[in-house]
Amino acid sequence: MYRSHNCGELRMSNEGQVVQLSGWVQKSRDLGGMTFVDLRDRYGITQLVFNMDDNEELCEKARKLGREFVVHAEGKVSERSNKNPNRPTGNIEIIVSKLEVLNAAKTPPFTIEEETDGGDDLRMKYRYLDIRRDAVKNNIIFRSKLALETRKYLDSQDFVEVETPFLIKSTPEGARDFVVPSRLNPGQFYALPQSPQTFKQILMVGGMDKYFQIVKCFRDEDLRADRQPEFTQIDCEMSFVTIDDILNTFEGLTKHLFKHTLDVDLPDFPRMDYDEALKRFGSDKPDLRFGMEFQELNDLAQNKGFSVFDSSELVVGICAEGIADSYSNKDMKKLTEWMQRPQIGAKGLVYVKFLQDGSIKSTVGKFFDDDTLRTWGEKFGAKPGDVLFILSGEAEKTRKQLNELRLEMGRRLGLMKDGDFKPLWVIDFPLLEWDEESERFHAMHHPFTSPKKEDVDRMLNGDHETMKSLKADAYDLVINGAEIGGGSIRIHDRELQSKNFDLLGFSKEEAEEQFGFLMGAFEYGAPPHGGIAFGFDRLCAVMNGQSSIRDFIAFPKNNQGRDMMIDAPSPVDQTQLDDLNLKLGEIETAE
């Protein structure tokens, strides 16, 4: 027998019992006459004790245990004299009578503790050691619980979990596809799905009514810190639904998940138009844990002799509370430089300080008298001690820049509190996005998204400019400034779908070649339908107040898209290539 109990479960009520434990050596301390060993498994840590006076041989054996040795111990549960209140098993220890080394271990390349000294790549290379750390282990357990609760809730709402294929034809959702050569069809390739979008729509045509799947999706994108080439979605689709039906169902799912994993009761989610979100926060995923809303100052700040403002499409600012007296000129200079970095690209940063003593200090004090500056302050509800930060320029760009500043000030002022969750639905996205560079429209969500009912006519008959103003039945779920989910009501009509492909620059033949199956299906009684997909990894991270999804993925890839543990991707044998009828030309490798 390896174990009668796990390393997290023994308490004073077990005192006197002879138990069997197995696990890993977290730490051992040799105090001369006594040796203490912390034995760890998934469930916790239990202290083992070896006493020189009782059993010298056993004690010698215990002294030789190294970190991460796998051992089995038998012994008696006894009350500890030196209790550890920070550990659930901290009141007891095991007086060991038998010790067996099940497997020795090399010294691990980083410490297996809450705070580790291992760098990212090292931790990924030895992921099995990293998974032994509480921080990673608990995330993976949380993820499992979240998936289970997702299934429970969706099952309770009559959703059916359906698996869709991984070897498919590409779905254009904005990213590059990973492709897989087909041996049986020389010269042809499958694509790995960026999402099961077309399949779930086909399932609706198939009358499945409510579908979900917790599913891997693959996108060959340049990897930013918080992206993974393969990631997981809670993917869903429903028939005969309006936007309200979908938002209510998935607000229900989100509330259920928070309640049953974190014991957090979320209030009803506010809904905000895309246009309004941009105007008030400069972002389509505003972090609502704090205010600091934008105020537009065109009417109060233009035509008063300051040419920079006068020539700007938009003059807009935020009010940061309580820093007027503590932010020095140097601090302001640094902040301005931070805004001028190429990543943000602001030309400058105007500020107005309302100091505690009632005086006003501003970078534009030469151009505006105090009374005028006070009217600005009133617009923001600024109090003594507050600072207005003002940007001006082209509207869209300026809002984006101010959004960065708002988030930065939110961080600096500690306004993004852990454990505070502020969900919202952003709705009424534009249908199409005009790309100046390529001179073509892109789908803001994806090509299957329906325009709002009232815009269908304008879409079918309008001119080029009209297309820029079409609104979609599309929505995003945002929590604490992170996009958690997105979806839309779909087009279910062949003619409208074809018009959309046309607008997106597909020729008739291309559309037919790539999506003939879907448009064909629309001719056989497609119900009105819509859906949503949640980013499952992101949801895990946000619920735990963490910014990186990596630690919620058991085996993540690094920023170069490499799996450091198995060392993938890697070259393949010539025979494998021959089988696939692939000939490699000159290849430029990363080195």
| Count of chain residues binding ligand ASP (CB under 6 A) | 10
The reply on whether position 193 binds ligand ASP by CB under 6 A is: no
Q: DSSP letters along 319-361, please?
A: EETT-TTTS-HHHHHHHHHHHHSTTT--S--EEEEE-TTS-EE
Q: How far is the CB of 449 from ligand ASP (least distance, A)?
A: 7
Q: Please, which of residues 151-190 interact with ligand ASP by CB under 6 A?
A: 173
Taking CB under 6 A as the criterion, the residue among 65, 532, 541, 549 binding ligand ASP is: 532
362 vs 450 by CB, closer to ligand ASP: 450
Q: How far is the CB of 399 from ligand ASP (least distance, A)?
A: 24
Q: How far is the CB of 445 from ligand ASP (least distance, A)?
A: 6
Taking CB under 6 A as the criterion, the residue among 75, 410, 531, 556 binding ligand ASP is: 531
506 SS3 class: coil
All residues at 6 or more sequence positions from 95 whose CB lies less than 8 Å from its CB, including other chains = 49, 51, 54, 75, 76, 78
Taking CB under 6 A as the criterion, the residue among 488, 497, 498, 500 binding ligand ASP is: 488
| C-alpha to C-alpha distance for 173 and 218, rounded to whole angstroms | 11
427 vs 533 by CB, closer to ligand ASP: 533
Q: Please, which of residues 371-410 interact with ligand ASP by CB under 6 A?
A: none
**Residue 230: exposure state from Cβ atoms within 10 A (0-12, 13-18, ≥19):** middle
**Residue 174: exposure state from Cβ atoms within 10 A (0-12, 13-18, ≥19):** middle
The reply on whether position 497 binds ligand ASP by CB under 6 A is: no
| C-alpha to C-alpha distance for 286 and 144, rounded to whole angstroms | 28
Taking CB under 6 A as the criterion, the residue among 204, 486, 515, 543 binding ligand ASP is: 486
| C-alpha to C-alpha distance for 273 and 275, rounded to whole angstroms | 5
All residues at 6 or more sequence positions from 519 whose CB lies less than 8 Å from its CB, including other chains = 494, 497, 498, 511, 512
Q: Phi and psi of 468, rounded to 5°? A: -70, -20
| C-alpha to C-alpha distance for 227 and 535, rounded to whole angstroms | 11
195 vs 312 by CB, closer to ligand ASP: 195
| C-alpha to C-alpha distance for 235 and 428, rounded to whole angstroms | 21
Query: In the chain, what is the straight-line distance between the N-terminal and C-terminal CA atoms, in Å?
Result: 52
Q: Please, which of residues 435-454 interact with ligand ASP by CB under 6 A?
A: 446
Q: Of 287-295, 367-375, 480-488, 574-582, which part binds ligand ASP (CB under 6 A)?
A: 480-488
Q: How far is the CB of 197 from ligand ASP (least distance, A)?
A: 4
The reply on whether position 197 binds ligand ASP by CB under 6 A is: yes
Q: Which residue has the tokens 């639905």?
A: 425
Q: Of 16-24, 379-387, 481-489, 509-517, which part binds ligand ASP (CB under 6 A)?
A: 481-489
The reply on whether position 312 binds ligand ASP by CB under 6 A is: no
71 vs 532 by CB, closer to ligand ASP: 532
Q: How far is the CB of 241 from ligand ASP (least distance, A)?
A: 12
Read off the tokens for 324: 């007027």
- The one-letter amino acid code at 513 reads E
The reply on whether position 195 binds ligand ASP by CB under 6 A is: yes
Taking CB under 6 A as the criterion, the residue among 191, 373, 533, 541 binding ligand ASP is: 533
75 vs 423 by CB, closer to ligand ASP: 423
Q: Of 67-75, 415-423, 531-539, 543-551, which part binds ligand ASP (CB under 6 A)?
A: 531-539
Q: DSSP letters along 242-285, please?
A: -HHHHHHHHHHHHHHHIIIII---PPPPPEEEHHHHHHHHSSSS
The reply on whether position 228 binds ligand ASP by CB under 6 A is: no
Q: How far is the CB of 233 from ligand ASP (least distance, A)?
A: 6
Q: Please, which of residues 66-105 interact with ligand ASP by CB under 6 A?
A: none
Q: How far is the CB of 539 from ligand ASP (least distance, A)?
A: 14
| C-alpha to C-alpha distance for 231 and 218, rounded to whole angstroms | 7
**Which residues contribute to the site for ligand ASP (CB under 6 A)?**
173, 195, 197, 446, 486-488, 531-533
